[in-house]
Amino acid sequence: MSLRVSRLDVVIVNWNAGEQLAACLSSLAACDDAASLRVVVVDNASIDGSAQKLERPGLHVTVLRNSQNLGFARACNQGAAVGSAEAILFLNPDTAVSRDGIAEARAVLEADARTGIVGARLVDESGRTHRTCARTPTGFSLVAHTLFLDRLMPGRIPPHFRLDWDHADTRPVDAVMGAFLMIRRPLFERLHGFDERFFVYWEDADLCARTGEAGFAVCHAARAVIRHRGQGTTEAVKDRRLFYFLRAQALYAGKHHGRAALLGVLAAAFAVNLPVRLVRALLRGGPGDAGAVLRVGRWLASASPKLLTRRPS
């Protein structure tokens, strides 16, 4: 597998990202690596006009337009299939790359042929680092987190994200966030891309887990600094966001840890997670927020039979 990444395909999945997508593309056009980038924007049927007028001087941009929202994982695979570069960068539209951020990540990918995935140091508007590298979840931890036990017993149940580490040094990690995920194309194709059963959420953790199982390392590149707003395109649909998160968590549990873990996550969601959220909504948010939680419960109940009958792949 070649170490030199002379060209880079950048895949951005857009769904009503507003002005954030335009700002992301402008940052790519201004970065040191702009001439070697081939950007593919996959638009999942946005209705806010964000997928219009995306041309940028000095930046090669292709736009794929879906007639409906096909989900993040499937759209990522669509975008990746368009290119042929040695590596692929999956980038969220609510990010802005620093001038040398992509170059720093490429350097880490090129330094070791056994490094399969590289993530960046994500910072907020004030420059504060988001601690986004994660642990590989176990079946127990997935159930425990659904029960909020990591919050009740933080000394005994570690959080999913590496909050104990400042992310200031470059090192191998279990998983990086899909907001900035650079992967070698031969490895991505060997793994058959993202698992499209994950509509959104947990598809990055799944890809990182499969990368490790294939014998490749996942690495955090501390000097690759990327501004990331976070939840930029899902903030307005909190009920859908919670549903897709819980569904994906259950799917991940079943895929990697078997039926018992999947059942455990679903049971924890219905018995504790959603009731706690409902009480909190009634006390703090009012009927509208409570109704959103009830909708999530109905959607998850409708999705559960299909989750329980699917075979791991």
Q: What is the pLDDT, as a whole number, of residue 246?
A: 98
Place of tokens 């993530």: 119
The CATH number given to 8-132+167-228 is 3.90.550.10
Backbone dihedral angles phi then psi of residue 117, each to the nearest 5 degrees: -130, 140
**Average pLDDT of every residue of the chain:** 94
pLDDT at 237: 72
Where in the chain are the domains?
Answer: 8-132+167-228, 238-309
Q: Note whether 110 and 5 are within 8 A (CB).
A: yes
Q: Which residue stretches of the chain have pLDDT < 50?
A: 1-2, 234
Identify the residue whose tokens are 């909708």. Answer: 295
The stretches of the chain forming alpha helices (DSSP H) are 19-30, 72-82, 101-111, 139-146, 149-152, 185-190, 203-213, 238-257, 259-268, 274-280, 287-309
Instruction: Say how many C-beta atoms besides its own lie within 10 A of residue 186's C-beta.
Output: 13
Q: What is the pLDDT of residue 287?
A: 83
Q: What's the rounded Cα separation, in Å, for the pair 311 and 37?
A: 38
Q: What is the pLDDT of residue 313?
A: 62
How many Å apart are CA 208 and CA 227, to the nearest integer?
22
At residue 1, the pLDDT reads 46
